[in-house]
Amino acid sequence: MNSLVLLIPLSILFLVGAGVALFWAVDHGQFDDMETGALLPMLDADRTPSEEALGEPIEPADQAERSR
């Protein structure tokens, strides 16, 4: 019986916190684009992050060796 005195208010606080987090996420657009995150693993990962930042075109390895 003593544990209920602690657990019931704790569960109510947890529920209120989850509700606040849900409404914050909805208000800040976290659920606007539900498909892009699922497609990210399927994108081609040929470029390194530094090449993407510089916008350099990528040459396949065999073409890079031929041009040298």
Half-sphere exposure of 55 (CA within 13 A, CB side): 0
The tens digit of pLDDT for each residue in 11-50 reads 999 999 999 999 999 999 888 888 877 777 777 666 666 6
Q: Which residue has the higher pLDDT, 22 or 53?
A: 22
pLDDT at 56 over 60: no
Half-sphere exposure of 34 (CA within 13 A, CB side): 3
Q: Where are the domains of the chain?
A: 2-66
